[in-house]
Structure 1
């Protein structure tokens, strides 16, 4: 019988401020997505184990498309394996909205379909259950 925590999905959305643009074209570094993966993993651990847990490692990270200042990112974490103290989580950061400065300075649009910018698989650890 599988653990009921397996399959749990947590979703965060975040606007990417212009203060995080580091490169030409208002590009944002990939570390921005990894920080968001840490945030969503924390909520996963709280929901599954009542503890913030600790991020132990990534086994795979794929940078698939650019993230830009002004984007709205949807960050998803899904528990794919539950061990005694470890949880394996699949992550995805998708651009769901993006600025369209060619239309006007503050114009933006909803992307349908969203652009998958970053995917990863990571492991978190939680304290032993009493």
Structure 2
């Protein structure tokens, strides 16, 4: 019998403020996206177990494309494994909108094809069921 929590997907979107740019070209450090993964994992835990849970580990983090200030990032978390107290979660961060400073200071566009920026697998733990 399959666990109903398997395949649960939670999506967050966030505008990346210029205050988070740390590098030339308005690049944002990878830790910014890992923080977003933590936020979406918290909602996963609330939905599956009624508790915020705790992040235990990341596995196979892949930084595939840059995230820049002015981007809108969509972060997706999907439950891939359910243990007694642990949950495996697959993460993907996609850039869905991007600033276009070449067209003007505040110009931006919706990307026709989102750019996969970061993928990872993680494990969260939740309290044992009462």
Query: Which TM-score tier does this pair reach, normalised by the shorter chain?
Result: over 0.9
Supply the distance in 1 between the matched residues of 2:77 and 2:70 (Cα, whole angstroms): 22
| Residue 4 of structure 2 is aligned to residue 15 of structure 1 | no
Supply the distance in 1 between the matched residues of 2:128 and 2:112 (Cα, whole angstroms): 42
Supply the distance in 1 between the matched residues of 2:31 and 2:67 (Cα, whole angstroms): 11
* Structure 1 residue 60 displacement after superposition: 1.1
For structure 2, the 5+ residue unaligned runs are none
Aligned residues, how many?
130
SS of the aligned residue for 1:102 comes to: helix
Give 2:108's aligned residue.
Answer: 108
For structure 1, the 5+ residue unaligned runs are none
Pairs within 5 Å for 1:22-33: 22-33=22-33
Give 1:3's aligned residue.
Answer: 3
Moved over 4 A (4+): none
Supply the distance in 2 between the matched residues of 1:56 and 1:42 (Cα, whole angstroms): 12
Residues 12-57 of structure 1: CA deviation (Å, up to 9, x unaligned): 0000000000000000000000000000000000000000000000
Supply the distance in 2 between the matched residues of 1:101 and 1:20 (Cα, whole angstroms): 17
Give 2:117's aligned residue.
Answer: 117
* Structure 1 residue 103 displacement after superposition: 0.7
* Structure 1 residue 111 displacement after superposition: 0.6
Q: Give the TM-score of the pair, scaled to structure 2.
A: 0.99
Q: Give the TM-score of the pair, scaled to structure 1.
A: 0.99
Supply the distance in 2 between the matched residues of 1:127 and 1:109 (Cα, whole angstroms): 43
SS of the aligned residue for 1:68 comes to: coil
Give 1:40's aligned residue.
Answer: 40
